Structure 1
Amino acid sequence: MYKVDMYYTVQTLHRQGYSKRKIASTLNIHRDTVTRILKDIKEGRQVPEPVKKIKLLDQDREIIKKSLERGKSAVLIHEMLVSRYKREVAYSTVVKYVRDMKEKEVYIPIHSDPGEEAQVDFGYLGLFWKDGKRVKTWLFVITLSYSRYAYYERVCDQKVITFLMCHIHAFEFFMGVVERVRIDNLKAGVITPDFYEPLIQAQYAACLAHYGCSPVTARIGRGQDKGKVESGVKYGKNNFLPRIDHRDYYRLGSDLTRWNEQTCNLRLHGTTRRIPAEVFKDIEYKALKPLPPERFELFDIETRKVNAFGHIHYKNNYYSVPYQLIGRELVVKSNLSVLRIFADNTRVAVHDIAKGQGQYITREEHQPEYKLKKPRSYYEEKMITIGEYAHNFMLELENIKPRHWHEMIRGILHLCRFYDNQAINLSCKRALSYGAISYQEVKTILEKKLYCLHEETEMPILSGFGHDLDIYDQLNK
């Protein structure tokens, strides 16, 4: 099917006196075609009538239309046509037909005033070597919507604290703050989904509020909402990355800074046809809000589960929380020097972050009362209650074993569950008289009721340590 240009060409040559044979030879078309075109022109048809192609799915147009009205996707429509109507049609054909049926959306350019908006996005750069390891590297980009003045930074993760730090660096690079920041819809974008947890949202909003601006998210699947920064990401990947002939993460940072200042912001912008740095200096910088006196204090926010010991694990150390929270998920908030721990938005513990590794940092008030280490006065009072000999036994044990007497005294106090105070007191008296100062000796006396015997009765030898050592002195003479 020849188009309108062929009609005009045939008409022009015919007016210049060319015969039909010569026109056909000149244009390399059939003479019958020349005759038909001249006939159409004579009858007033200067433009060829379009030939309507019959598409494979035209016969099912109404079925597809009703399915779209019910909200069915192209996948479901394809399955229905193949299984129910036995159509031999490819999925790609259905997708194209559905796309043509949908009403085309009209877009309106979004214009921003100076200092009104900045757009933020990430772009993947590839793998680079950092400290002996290959790490995934992304390009953080924030573009001022009016001047297209941009700030670029390379990062090796997309954590919230990294995201916020990039914003802080950008504001300091611009030497001012915009009214609002438009970010990607992070549930479907490049930031990890946990960024949209309520606490993380609050931290991001708090950071922007500190600088006097507010966040606005782009709609899912609407790249045109932040087209300025997406163009900036594409420009960085197409213009900066091909210049890099190495894979060193640290060199990449200095190269990016130099390119950002000397190439990116000094180029003639393809859309505005102006140089971003000049527009920023002459117009937009004056419209920015001033930076606050102090930087926003960044916090690393994570969740941790309390282990069976009543501690949470953070940066290779363990920090105590109230024992009632064992097994629960808590939120930890750190500024790299102080660790704050929250349960249901209520602060339950505060610790200084330890410098070493594998340490247990424990506060006594976090432990159950029965697990707390008792003072000496507690044990002395208990032993005095049992009796005079029990108290003397404790004093002698404390003198012999200054580091381990607590455990043995706790054992003797445990015996109060099975024996009365008088029996325990007399058992301590017998143990003292034979110099058998240990928990096991007192327990044996109680079990065998030796406290009922006269003191002249010999104590049973409980171990090799019970021998009279004077014998060895006799042998050495």
Structure 2
Amino acid sequence: MYYTVKTLLSEGKSIREIAKDLGMCRKTISRIKTALDSGKDRPDEQVRTKTLDGYKDLINDYFEDGLTALLIHRRLTTEKGLTVSYPSVARWVERLKKQEVYIPIHCDPGAESQVDFGYMGTFRNHGTPVKVWIFAMVLSYSRYTYYQLVTNQKISSFIECHYKAFEYFGGVPKTIKLDNLKAGVITPDFYEPLLQEQYAGFLAHYNSAPIACRVRRPQEKGKVESAIKYVKNNFLKNFRGTDYDKLICELKVWNEEICNQRVHGTTRKVPQLVFNEREKTALMELPARRYEIMDISARKVSRLAHISYRHNYYSVPAKYVGMQVRLESNGTLLKIYSNQSRIALHSISHAMGLYISLEEHKPEYKRFISRDECYQRMAALGPYAIEVFLQLEQKVPAYWGAMTRGILKLKTSYSEEVINLACKRALRFNALGYQQIKKICESGLYRQDESPENNISFTEGYGHDLSIYDQIIRNN
């Protein structure tokens, strides 16, 4: 407009004529003429202030924290008292999204694979409806892909899918890039993810390393994201029926004959050919044996010194009552740990409601001790102790075990020498039994000098002077 007015003025036309020709107000033409006379050939730029300009840094911080446009709008209106419409905030956030530029990531053969789960829907497994997910592992270089259907996302299923994928490839990639799945990653952290203990052990067994993607960054594992979309659009939409077994069979055929045989949309190459020519030989070798999948859980030890596992109860050492322990099972053996130390090992029973107890887990005073063990432990106390044992075994065959355990328990309070001397005195007075020997230890009678007058003769059988017992338990 400035150039038009300037041209018309140079032709000698008046302000009235120019306004009439252009259909504009004379004041506007007059203002443009004044500006032209002052040396301006265009109007001053008009900057329109926006309500959100003063909150630019705050909105950027909210966006970096992962807040959606709706949550950002809510915080601005409730916490900052700002009067602004949601569409205005949404447009601002959309501009921030467009600022991020994604760079294609290229990998060397055998260097990386990406894994993820995708929900497939509900199918019927032998008449029972089950939710079905699909596990996908994609080799980043060749796009060679392995799929497997699962009915849960437990750590055991997650690991099983991994080693079956490795066996399908015939080798192991150097790194595994995974989403922040609960089965694989506990705390999402791109730089140092805290992986599940068993998943970390599994990767170490196969000499591979994990890389966890950052939160809300699906583009970091875009290859497997595309693989999940591809199986849903190309296979699932073409599948007819709801039978789970049929789904498994048709997926295997589709994986072999279509997925890995088609010309890939990004690389424009056939994944099977690229894998065979370049990537298969670049993978690390499989270990000699599979990783043993363990069922890991935690339990609190009951006051009976047992933990429950699969409808049975297994013992642990009595000192761990009330403590939290970790269980590991491969379906055959049950290992029980306190911190990093294994405290019990059981063979798993397939019965139900059984208490499976080991003698060594019982308290000392409740353990069953065999005759040979009793003999050896009494012999260790001394010759008089072993003589007491032999006589108890002969005279009280029904109670010698309990009496012997009581005598052995005295070691917690008295030395072996004291107990042996107490046995000597008990033999002299024919006062055989745990309580009598205990009283001798407590009263110190084992220190009395032996003298002929203290020797007492007994009649046949059990008849004897009852005052002997008073003498035994009387303090010096």
- Normalising by the smaller structure, the TM-score range is 0.5 to 0.7
Q: Deviations for 1:400-455, whole angstroms, at most 9, x for unmatched residues?
A: xxxxx99xxx9xxx9979xx99xxxxxxxxxxxxxxxxxxxxxxxxxxxxxxxxxx
Distance 2:435 2:207 in 1: 68
8 Å CA contact retained: 2:185, 2:195: no
Do structure 1's residue 224 and structure 2's residue 215 form an aligned pair?
no
Distance 1:134 1:147 in 2: 36
Query: 1:193 offset after TM fit, Å?
Result: 4.6
> Would the alpha carbon gap of residues 211 and 101 (structure 1) be closer, same or farther in structure 2, given more than 3 Å must change?
closer
Amino acid aligned to 2:51 = D
Query: 1:261 offset after TM fit, Å?
Result: 0.6
Q: Deviations for 1:163-214, whole angstroms, at most 9, x for unmatched residues?
A: 1111111111111111111111235xx7685999999634323322322321
- Unaligned stretches of 5+ in structure 2? 1-21, 23-44, 379-384, 407-432, 441-476
Q: Which of 70, 74, 77 pairs up with 1:78?
A: 74
Residue of structure 2 in register with 1:267 after alignment: 262
Residue of structure 1 in register with 2:170 after alignment: 175
SS of aligned partner of 2:99 = coil
Do structure 1's residue 61 and structure 2's residue 52 form an aligned pair?
yes
Distance 2:243 2:197 in 1: 35
Residue of structure 1 in register with 2:312 after alignment: 317
Q: Which of 227, 244, 247 pairs up with 2:242?
A: 247
Do structure 1's residue 106 and structure 2's residue 101 form an aligned pair?
yes
What are the within-5 Å matches in structure 2 for residues 51-200 of structure 1?
59-68=50-59, 71=62, 75=71, 77-81=73-77, 85=81, 87=83, 89-90=85-86, 93-101=88-96, 104-186=99-181, 193=186
Residue of structure 1 in register with 2:34 after alignment: none
Query: 1:323 offset after TM fit, Å?
Result: 1.4
Residue of structure 1 in register with 2:277 after alignment: 282
Query: 1:272 offset after TM fit, Å?
Result: 1.0
SS of aligned partner of 1:134 = strand
Q: Which of 354, 363, 366 pairs up with 2:358?
A: 363
Query: 1:129 offset after TM fit, Å?
Result: 2.3
Residue of structure 2 in register with 1:461 after alignment: none
Amino acid aligned to 1:89 = S
Distance 1:292 1:83 in 2: 58
SS of aligned partner of 2:314 = strand
8 Å CA contact retained: 2:301, 2:325: yes
Amino acid aligned to 1:272 = T
Give the alignment's TM-score, normalised by structure 2.
0.64
SS of aligned partner of 1:347 = strand
> Would the alpha carbon gap of residues 307 and 279 (structure 1) be closer, same or farther in structure 2, given more than 3 Å must change?
same
Amino acid aligned to 1:210 = H
8 Å CA contact retained: 2:317, 2:360: yes
Q: Deviations for 1:59-90, whole angstroms, at most 9, x for unmatched residues?
A: 32233214236658553553443575462623
Amino acid aligned to 1:60 = T
Return 292-301 or 147-156, whichever deviates more: 292-301
Residue of structure 2 in register with 1:215 after alignment: 210
SS of aligned partner of 2:106 = coil
> Would the alpha carbon gap of residues 251 and 305 (structure 1) be closer, same or farther in structure 2, given more than 3 Å must change?
farther
> Would the alpha carbon gap of residues 271 and 115 (structure 1) be closer, same or farther in structure 2, given more than 3 Å must change?
same
> Would the alpha carbon gap of residues 326 and 221 (structure 1) be closer, same or farther in structure 2, given more than 3 Å must change?
same
Distance 2:57 2:194 in 1: 43
Return 137-146 or 96-105, whichever deviates more: 96-105
Distance 1:305 1:337 in 2: 21
> Would the alpha carbon gap of residues 137 and 191 (structure 1) be closer, same or farther in structure 2, given more than 3 Å must change?
farther
Query: 1:101 offset after TM fit, Å?
Result: 5.0
Equivalent pairs: percent with the same residue?
Answer: 41
RMSD: 4.1
> Would the alpha carbon gap of residues 115 and 198 (structure 1) be closer, same or farther in structure 2, given more than 3 Å must change?
closer
Query: 1:93 offset after TM fit, Å?
Result: 4.1
Query: 1:275 offset after TM fit, Å?
Result: 1.1
Distance 2:250 2:72 in 1: 49
8 Å CA contact retained: 1:67, 1:77: no
Query: 1:112 offset after TM fit, Å?
Result: 0.7
Residue of structure 2 in register with 1:454 after alignment: none
Amino acid aligned to 1:369 = E
> Would the alpha carbon gap of residues 351 and 64 (structure 1) be closer, same or farther in structure 2, given more than 3 Å must change?
same
